[in-house]
Amino acid sequence: MHKPVILITNDDGINAPGIRILIEIMREIGEVVVVAPDKPQSGMSHAITVSVPLRLKKIVDKKDYKEYSCNGTPVDSVKLGGKIIIKGKPDLLVSGINHGSNSSINIIYSGTMAAVLEAAIDGIPSIGFSILDYSMKADFKGSEKFIKKIAENVLKNGLPSGTCLNVNIPTIDKSKIKGIKVCKQAKGYWKEEFDERKDPHKRDYYWLTGVFQNGDKDSDTDEWALANNYISVVPVKFDFTAYEAISVINKWKLNA
Amino acid sequence: MHKPVILITNDDGINAPGIRILIEIMREIGEVVVVAPDKPQSGMSHAITVSVPLRLKKIVDKKDYKEYSCNGTPVDSVKLGGKIIIKGKPDLLVSGINHGSNSSINIIYSGTMAAVLEAAIDGIPSIGFSILDYSMKADFKGSEKFIKKIAENVLKNGLPSGTCLNVNIPTIDKSKIKGIKVCKQAKGYWKEEFDERKDPHKRDYYWLTGVFQNGDKDSDTDEWALANNYISVVPVKFDFTAYEAISVINKWKLNA
């Protein structure tokens, strides 16, 4: 039987513990091709590289397992993996395991989830996995079976056109996980501050800091699921249109 | 009467002709604060700067007109403009005028529109303006009255919570513009190729190239509007949830 071709990327960089674990899990399911950034790319969102040329560095190139780093973003990695290494479409793209949450608003800043959306737009079934611990020493133990189950289900069932999955995993002891909840993105936001400092030359500089706030009290959200010891699965697609606002703006009679 | 405070940014950088024109138009309406990247940031999407400190450079600082450049992304510029310069929320954020289209799928890569979305998430009425010409010599003549009209309407009417506007302007002679159409984002995509080259040291490198494809035949899209000589206005909000897919994935019985 033909083994599925699985493209793997992330935004924490090719040496992050999270992607190493994801590679191990996916090698049990299919032929794996890794193309991931050569350095951390957190917060890069859907950025693409337009001002410098892209380069790939071969790390492993066997028949059933290939691994390359690139100097670009997570989205660049997806494009390079498909066009240059696989020379076609993988059967599945997985991204992560991200060190830190991509629930609620975090998805918009996330390079991990941008890679997943990029694949979905290109018609590739795709899943992003994140664990709620920013540390490079995050404990992934016990997550493996859930990750494998979700990936196998996507390979078996496919996903609706243009749709991908955003999976977040709580940091509790995995034996305490109550199950998997399919849910919507919570309406959360970051209450941000700049940490204002002066350099030795007395010039101001700023570090962005912030605290996540979940203003969404609904119980069908990813934040609710995670706070209640579930793994959250949000089906995600790229359509920014605010359909309900079209009639509102038409009332302004902009052509009058 | 209190003049509205208008924050302006873009992704082509503070010296791009597009933002200079936008500043002129907005100074007729309100007190203007400009915070924009000190260099081109096209394709930066919703990226934020986390690995280097942010700096602001004062260019003008009068009572009714302030202009600063920053070393960050368009989204960083919105955050710095609010927290550091205005020390609160502006009445309106406008971004652009972008040199090049942000219709259809282009919004996902766009720093110009990421700034607009960032403001909307923060509860600030916001609009992105783009012209369908990537050249730094793009001809904006005749666009001014439409831009002013849309901005004045947003200030007067407000926008539904979390919603912002993505405005694209065709490159035709502005006297031939048929009007303003409120529409949805077309389902287009980029058919991409990598231009593969070898450097003088015989190492491979890649430039991303592509041709935009509109596979969407609906006539209520931004692509249709632009192709038919209308200015397109798409109301946009940030919610990636694919609601219709929730029941589909629940049928997989992931907890069985």
Q: Check A206 against B149: CB less than 8 A apart.
A: no
pLDDT digits (tens, 9 = 90+) for B213-229: 998 999 999 999 999 99
Tell me whether residue A213 is in a domain: no
Residue A73 token pair: 């973003």
d(CA A133, CA A140): 10
Tell me whether residue B87 is in a domain: yes
Positive or negative: CA dihedral A46, A52, A54, A59:
negative
pLDDT digits (tens, 9 = 90+) for A185-226: 999 999 989 999 999 999 999 999 999 999 899 999 999 999
Q: Check B240 against A117: CB less than 8 A apart.
A: yes
Tell me whether residue A199 is in a domain: no
Q: Tell how many helices (H) and how many strands (E) occur in chain B.
A: 6, 11
d(CA B102, CA B179): 18
Residue B159 Cα, gap to closest chain A Cα (Å) = 8
Point out the residue among B48, B54, B235 whose CB comes nearest to the CB of A246: B235
Across B26-51, average pLDDT: 93
pLDDT digits (tens, 9 = 90+) for A122-166: 999 999 999 999 898 888 989 999 999 999 999 999 999 999 999
The DSSP bridge partners found for residue B92 are B6
Tell me whether residue B191 is in a domain: no
The helix or strand, by DSSP H or E, that contains position B131, with its residue range, turns out to be strand B126-131
User: Would you call A58 an interface residue with chain B, using a CB distance cutoff of 8 Å?
Assistant: no
- Determine how β-strand A92-99 pairs with β-strand A126-131: parallel
Q: Which of B66, B64, B81 is closest to B122 using CA atoms? A: B81
d(CA A173, CA A189): 27
Tell me whether residue A57 is in a domain: yes
Tell me whether residue B202 is in a domain: no
pTM of the model: 0.92
d(CA B110, CA A92): 26
User: Would you call A254 an interface residue with chain B, using a CB distance cutoff of 8 Å?
Assistant: yes
For chain A, the straight-line distance linking the first and the last C-alpha, in angstroms and rounded, comes to 64
d(CA B107, CA A149): 33
Q: Check B55 against A80: CB less than 8 A apart.
A: no
d(CA B116, CA A198): 30
pLDDT digits (tens, 9 = 90+) for B58-91: 999 999 999 999 999 999 999 999 999 999 999 9
- Determine how β-strand A126-131 pairs with β-strand A163-169: parallel
User: Would you call A185 an interface residue with chain B, using a CB distance cutoff of 8 Å?
Assistant: yes
At A102, give phi and psi (nearest 5°).
-120, 25
Given the cut 0.85, state whether the ipTM is greater than it. Answer: yes
Positive or negative: CA dihedral B252, A28, A134, B111:
negative
Is residue A178 within 8 Å of residue A253, measured between CB atoms?
Answer: no
Which residue bears the tokens 């018609």? A123
Q: How far is CA B71 from the centre of its chain?
A: 18
Residue B172 token pair: 């035709």
Q: Which of B18, B54, B10 is closest to B136 using CA atoms? A: B18
Across A49-68, average pLDDT: 94
Across A41-65, average pLDDT: 91
Contacts of A202 (CB under 8 A, 6+ apart): none
Tell me whether residue B255 is in a domain: no
Task: Give the CATH number of the domain where residue B18 resides.
Answer: 3.40.1210.10
Q: Please, how many CA atoms are within 13 Å of residue B109, restricted to the half-sphere of its CB?
A: 21
Tell me whether residue B196 is in a domain: no
How many domains, chain B? 1
Residue A106's domain spans which residues?
A: 5-186+218-250
Q: CA B209, B214, B218 angle in degrees (round to 5)?
A: 165
